[in-house]
A and B are shown apart, each in its own frame.
Chain A
Amino acid sequence: MSPEERRPPAQPAIAAPPEGSVADLFKAALPDVEMTAVQGALDVLLLVDGKDAHKVLETAKHNPSLAFDFLRNLSGVDYEAEGFEVVYHLYSYKHRHNVTVRAKLPREDPRIQSATDIWRAADWHERECRDMFGIVFEGHPNLVPILLPEDMLDHYPLRKDNPLAPLEEWQGEALGPEMGRAGHIPPGSGFDVEPSAEGE
């Protein structure tokens, strides 16, 4: 096969999943829940509201035609003005099919019901998601920081309004004179700190 033939076709931004995909099974199992199905690069994406997420996930696990017994991955995404999303990647060892459930949350006070009662795998993932985005998982048995320090409860590194430290800060400009002259910053470069009182 030549490389041209094996090249995957360019994807349109939004495409409906094909007939008979896992999205149809979800719609049959949950007729009263509003969800949008999109065909992603590998899996079918289901866009749902944060309030319905737990119901959708519970059905995904326990409905015999879906039987998603494996929570592959749980991650948060910060879409700035559009709010947060908690993304669940699910897999079924029984039917060997995939689905991605994207639960939409508001920007202010993002809360979602915990999935720890569905998969125990969700425990550490949700703690990490709280660390990084400040999303509160209601009903989680032990929602304490996992990767971040235990007292870091109001600082969410992966939020988009939390920029990486600027280079100058790392090089020592922000240390201030009391911390001493930082590193090997050449004087007069605009990055050096206040001249010391002794004069140099």
Chain B
Amino acid sequence: MAIDPETQVEREFETQDLFVNIGPQHPATHGVFRMVIEVDGEVVRDVVPHIGYMHRGGEKLSEHMDYRQAIGYQDRTEYLSQFNAELCYVLAVEKLAGLAPPERAEYIRIILTELNRVSSHFMFLGAFGTDLGVFGTSFTYAFREREHILDLFEEVSGDRLMYAYFRPGGVAWDVPRDFKERVEWVCKQALIGADDMDKLLTDNEIFIARTRNIGKLSIEDAIDYGVTGPMLRASGMKFDLRRDEPYSIYDRFDFDIPVGTNGDCYDRYLVRLAEIRESIRIVRQAVAQMPDEGPILPERMPRMLRPAAGEVYMRCEDPRGEYGLYIVSKGATQPYRCRIRSPSFCNLSALKHMTVGHFVADAVTILGATDIVLCSVDR
């Protein structure tokens, strides 16, 4: 619960503020992230986040690679939702180069992207439980389902994490013959996993006590800080790029946008849990509509992509929020500028606003509910 620091401190005692350093190597920071917390007793007075430990210059490197080589960098940026990032990148390049993927490739992409959202949210559920002290239990439950999804991705792309499977104009190669049956099986398992997590956490008294009214963010503050995705929806804003600015073939599917009411950590959890079920709905519709036969790349693909001079800011709904790519082309085989707008970076910038006034232990909860990917923050 939010506590006003002024009322908590007994005035007659002389107190001293203490600086607590969390990170860069700390299990609760989900990566190489450091925050210096100024505490007054147990109450957080100030938070100074330090990022950049994993800055690899991905934007600069992308400027020195041709358009297809840079796909791999998207995987390494968003290493929990790789297909989402790849989709954004290939859509941006397609917009610049005027390519249109065949139907079958579009459906393959959407199925994989949505399953990737499910696996990413499972990762969140597992890690969030661990942050709150459900040590190991939530992690193993969540990873059981995530593993099924990663197995499917491995069958399709040949890799468990760094897929590099999408291409401008389609996908790299066709999916295995039993793809639809496998997807259906994975969907069934994912729903079982979501139900298990639901039973494990949603009504858990300790879980609610640790997350209700923690890290509240109003709609106005969320928008002002550029917070997007499940965090914005948990604050009560019904906005989803898949619905409000449909890209690819998202306009063909019927799905709901789960929203919260309080904007606290508990709502963020509920929104993500509900999004798993909505994503499975989209996947099932896509499997039903997907043509069994057909090309996966346009018939006439240039050997080297050389988009005309221009620029595009492509944005996609990543599991963490709006993943944007600003690509400037000057008609060369490499992008002139490739800027990654990472949702984790923008969501993290609201950390101080959410944390000040809470207990130190809640700072970990709030960071966990922000669901950051540090590779994406640092790029």
Contact = CB atoms under 8 A, between A and B. Distances in A.
Contacts of A195: none
Contact of B311 (A3, A4, A40, A72): A40
A148 B328 CA distance: 24
A6 to B, nearest CB: 5
Nearest to A78: B337
Given A72-B315, A72-B322, A13 B55 contact: no
A72 B101 contact: no
Given A40-B310, A77-B337, A7 B98 contact: yes
Contact of A89 (B244, B309, B324): B324
Contact of B52 (A40, A119, A148): A148
Contact of B328 (A6, A77, A89): A77
B41 to A, nearest CB: 26
Interface string B310-354: 111111000000101010100000001101010001100100000
B308 A7 contact: no
Contacts of B55: 147-148
Q: How large is the interface on A (under 10, 10 to 19, 20 to 34, 35 or more residues)?
A: 35 or more
Contact of B64 (A77, A123, A149, A164): A164
Interface in B84-112: 95-96, 98-103
Contacts of A119: 224, 226
B3 interface: no
A157 B51 contact: no
Contacts of B326: 73, 75, 87, 89
Nearest to B341: A73
Interface string A82-124: 0000010100010010001000000000000000000111011
A153 interface: no
A93 B310 contact: no
Interface of B: 51-52, 55, 57, 59-61, 64, 95-96, 98-103, 223-226, 237, 239, 244, 298, 308-315, 322, 324, 326, 328, 336-337, 339, 341, 345-346, 349, 378-379
Cβ-closest 10 pairs across A and B:
A121-B226, A147-B52, A75-B339, A73-B341, A41-B312, A7-B100, A147-B55, A124-B349, A3-B100, A6-B100
